[in-house]
Amino acid sequence: MANDKWFAIVNPKAGKGRAVVDWPRISWMLTDAGIDFDHVFTQKKYHAVELTVRAIRNGYRKIISVGGDGTLNEIVNGIFIQQEVKTTDVLLAMMPLGIGNDWIRMYGIPRTYADATIAIKESHSFLQDVGMVKYYEAKVHHTRYFANAVGIGFDGYVAIGFNRLKEAGKKSKWLYVISMIKSVLRYRATKVALRIDDEKISDDVYSITLGIGKYNGGGMIQLPNAVANDGLLDLTLIRKISGLNVLWNMPILYNGTIHKHSRITGHRGKEISIHSIPQIPIEVDGESVGYSPFDISVVPRGINVVVGKDFNPAL
């Protein structure tokens, strides 16, 4: 039987640990706004996946992700793993507490707790596409869904360093940039065979970003033309490039002009496969998860999400 309450999944490690300190205030704001909810704290990696499956089985159809992009990703995967209802029957909202918060940038979701609470109360909803990626980890084939973007090659390598810094207890909004600068000194382009629907590309590739949303890496606009409900994955391909060139051109990663660089091209498709020797890493919604080969596809309008009241999918 469906439950009309919201179910809040709180990641206590999100926002450099702010979730634990700020939850009483967030909880009070939700209650004061007349939002009826239950909540639970995650206790381990992938716990949000389990909690989401259990919540839907217990009748909840409205979930609040209290955390960052990684927490949201786990909840999306839980929505797709559960077998109780259609994925679009579950409404997903965000109380942003992460370091990057890239998913909310796409949808005009407020960053302040008070304004995010209003957005949840008003519940302007939007059916967005979802990506599905198949990859390898420890020689085992895995499948994972994503709501925003994945980074392959250099981007995947940066995420490995970024997550190591977070796990080591480092706390700074510049962690991603720090990891990027360190990675520039070490990473090299790899020979990649890439298929985007019927288009085939074989080249030395430095990095690939693809996905549903425009933003990744804490505000980078690597997919400037992405439309979240067009049934297509946008892809930005960076061919072999020097580390110095990467550092010199960092501004274009943030100002939406990335495709103007001579070594960078934009593409779009429904089904994408990527092979590389040696294997290259991948990050999914900011979390490093595995290695190539990859098969990536899109689930058109696969989840129902709460967006900002002024969100326009055409912009």
Domain 131-299: CATH architecture, name and number where available: Sandwich (2.60)
**Segment 279-295, tens digit of pLDDT:** 999 999 988 899 999 99
Q: Report the chain's mean pLDDT, rounded to a whole number.
A: 91
Could you say which DSSP state residue 237 is in?
A: E
Output the pLDDT for position 163.
Answer: 72
The residue that leads in pLDDT, 94 or 171, is 94
Mean pLDDT of 241-264: 92
Q: Per-residue pLDDT averaged across 267-278, rounded? A: 96
For residue range 121-152, list pLDDT tens digits in order. 999 999 999 999 999 887 889 999 999 999 99
Mean pLDDT value across residues 293-301? 97
Structure confidence at residue 78 (pLDDT): 98
- Tell me which residue has tokens 């786990």: 74
* C-beta of residue 99 within 8 angstroms of C-beta of residue 15: yes
Contacts of 83 (CB under 8 A, 6+ apart): none
Answer whether residue 1 shows pLDDT above 70.
no
Of the candidates 177, 200, 190, the one whose C-alpha atom is nearest the C-alpha of residue 272 is 200
The CATH number, out of the four listed (2.80.10.50, 3.40.50.10330, 3.40.50.880, 3.20.20.60), of the domain defined by the range 3-123: 3.40.50.10330
Percent of the chain with pLDDT over 70: 96
- Amino acid residing at 79: I
Q: What is the pLDDT of residue 161?
A: 78
Runs of H (alpha helix) within the chain = 14-32, 47-57, 69-81, 102-107, 113-122, 154-167, 175-184, 243-248
Provide the pLDDT for residue 179: 79
**What is the rounded distance in angstroms from the CA atom of residue 190 to the CA atom of residue 210?**
17
Residue 49 and residue 39: Cα distance in Å, rounded?
A: 14
pTM over 0.85: yes
Return d(Cα 236, Cα 195) in angstroms, integer: 13
The size of the chain, in residues, is 315
Residue 15's Cβ-count burial label (10 Å; 0-12, 13-18, 19+) is buried
Tell me the C-alpha distance between 307 and 92, whole Å.
Answer: 9
Rounded Cα gap, residues 56 and 50, in angstroms: 10
pLDDT value, residue 144: 97
> Could you state, in order of their start, the residue ranges of all structural domains in the chain?
3-123, 131-299
Q: Is-same-fold flag (3-123; 131-299)? A: no
pLDDT at 259 over 80: yes
Computed on alpha carbons and rounded to an integer, the radius of gyration of the chain in Å comes to 19
95 CB neighbour count, 10 Å cutoff: 27
What per-residue confidence (pLDDT) applies to 143?
96
**Pairwise CA distance, residues 167 & 80, whole Å:** 27
pLDDT category at 2 given cuts 50, 70, 90 is: low
CA nearest to 292, candidates 305, 307, 279, 277: 279
The CA distance from 283 to 148, in Å, is: 11
pLDDT in tens, 156-200: 888 887 777 766 666 666 677 777 788 887 888 999 999 999 999
pLDDT for 276: 94
In angstroms, the CA 283 to CA 269 distance is 19
Q: Given the DSSP bridges, would you call strands 233-239 and 91-96 parallel, antiparallel or unpaired?
A: unpaired
Environment class of residue 226 by beta-carbon count within 10 Å: exposed (0-12), middle (13-18) or buried (19+)? Answer: buried
CA dihedral 243, 223, 108, 49 (to 10 degrees): -90
Long-range contacts of 136-142 (CB under 8 A, 24+ apart): 136/279, 136/290, 136/291, 136/292, 136/293, 137/289, 137/290, 137/291, 142/289, 142/290
